[in-house]
Structure formats: C-alpha cells, structure tokens
Amino acid sequence: NWIVKTKNLKKYYQLGKNTVKALDGVDFAAAEREFVAIIGKSGSGKSTLLHMIGGLDEPTSGEVYVDGRRLAGMSREQLAVFRRRKVGFVFQSYNLVPDLNVYENIVLPIELDGRRIDRAFVDEILSLLALEEKREALPGTLSGGQQQRVAIARAIASKPAIILADEPTGNLDTATSHDVMGLLKVAAKQFQQTIILITHDSDIAQMADRIVHIEDGRIVKAGDTYAG
C-alpha cells in the first residue's frame, strides 16, 4: 500500500526570463512503513519535493496524495490540520524551544494541537532514542546529536503517518550521524511510521530500505519497493 504518491509533479520557478524547473515530472511513491532516502546533488530538487509532500508549498502542476488524501483538494485550514496530524518534520536545524526542557519540547506540538498526551508512548520514545536521562534537560545543555534526537522524538510523538526529514544529519559528524539515523530507523520501524529522508550523503542513504536518485528535477532511479 502506498502512503505517499506523486503524479507528474512539476514545480517551476520564474526568475526573470528564466524558468527554473525544480521538479520536472516526478512520479514518486513510498509504501507504508517504508524508509526511503532521496539522494541527489545540491539544487536537484530534493527539498522542493519534500515540501510538496508535506503540504508546505503548492506544485505548478501534478498531484500529491498522502494517506489517501489529495493535497490539492484541501482548503488552507484542512492543509494546516493535515500538517499537524499526518506529518512529522525533521530539519537540519533542530528548532527546539530553548527555555523548555526535553520532555516539554517533545509534547509541545501535541499540546498546541489540543490533543491528549500519551505519556506511556512518550516514555517509550524517550527510551528508544536514549533520552531518558535527558528528560529534564534544557536544549542548550545538549550536544548536537542529542538535540536532533529530541527533534526526532518530537516528530514521532505526534504519531504522524509520515516523517519527512530534510538533511537531518547536516550539522552532525559522521559517527553521530550514523547513531542518530540508526535510532530514527529503529523508532520508525517500532511505531510503523514511513520515513522520507533527503540527503546528499550516500553513506546515510545506505541505511534506508530504498534509495531514490534525483537529478535536475527528475527521478533517474527509484529502486524496488515492497508495496504492491
């Protein structure tokens, strides 16, 4: 079963007389529970694709379906709810609130969304991401790898259908990057979440179930998926 699908997705930017084809007809799909890495050079369209899937930006043409919903058919309000309920974002920067501790940062989006906090679930996430000892710590006292683990925990805690990760290891050294990605993978498998990761680092991409290669706004190699 597909959880994400794009059909002939195009995103063109007009820069004066020039048209930048950031996405030029992308048919992308991710299966439920799959961990897909999208790899490509800087400027190949990776972030643009992730933004379309996450409903952060509108395509020029083509369709995006997430969890059975067509994004273009949603109102602004529905799209906002979709992003809060269905998508967990992880970026290169951790975007933690400095004067809230680790636990408070993790549950903040759930509270802002007016949902009940599943404390047992949050505890399980803290344990899987090796953050139990850091529960009361402020972000400023944590290493980069620890802060990114908190950002991952926050994304997972709102029980999204998909986790969209944009160069999450971009600020981390090689060993820490592998540790953090390993924990993200274990946690997502445990909670049956789909991960779509963008990276330019082929070592990190190797950790995924499948690697999709993008060049100049087109998918040039997509690999085999286990979705029917």
Three-state SS at 227? coil
Are 216 and 40 in contact by the 8 Å Cβ rule? The answer is no
Site residues for ligand ADP, 164-203, by CB under 6 A, read none
Please, what is the minimum distance in Å from the beta carbon of residue 102 to ligand ADP? 29
Q: Which residues pair with 89 in a beta bridge?
A: 164
Chosen residue from 28, 30, 35, 48 binding ligand ADP by CB under 6 A: 48
- The alpha-carbon radius of gyration of the chain (Å, integer) is 17
**For residue 47, which amino acid is it?**
S
Contact between 226 and ligand ADP per CB under 6 A? no
Instruction: Work out whether 6 is an interface residue with ligand ADP (CB under 6 A).
Output: no
Report if residue 65 touches ligand ADP, rule: CB under 6 A.
yes
- In the bound state with ligand ADP, the residue whose beta carbon lies nearer, of 137 and 222, is 222
Tell whether residue 12 is a contact of ligand ADP (CB under 6 A): no
Contact 161, 87 (CB under 8 A): yes
Write out the binding residues for ligand ADP, residues 68-107 only, by CB under 6 A.
68
**From 31, 35, 36, 46, residue interacting with ligand ADP (rule: CB under 6 A):** 46
Least distance (Å) from ligand ADP to the CB of residue 23?
Answer: 8
Taking the C-alpha atoms of residue 58 and residue 10, their distance in angstroms, rounded to an integer, is: 10
22 binds ligand ADP (CB under 6 A): yes
Total count of residues recorded for the chain: 228
Which residues have C-beta within 8 Å of that of residue 121, sequence separation ≥ 6? 157, 159
Between 86 and 134, whose beta carbon lies closer to ligand ADP? 86
CA–CA distance, 26 with 40 (Å, rounded to integer): 14
40 lies in the binding site for ligand ADP (CB under 6 A): yes
Find, among 113, 81, 108, the residue nearest to 96 by Cα.
108
* Shortest distance in whole angstroms from residue 143 CB to ligand ADP: 26
Q: 10: which strand partners?
A: 24, 61
User: Given the rule CB under 6 A, which residues bind ligand ADP?
Assistant: 2-3, 5, 13, 15, 20, 22, 40, 42-48, 65, 68
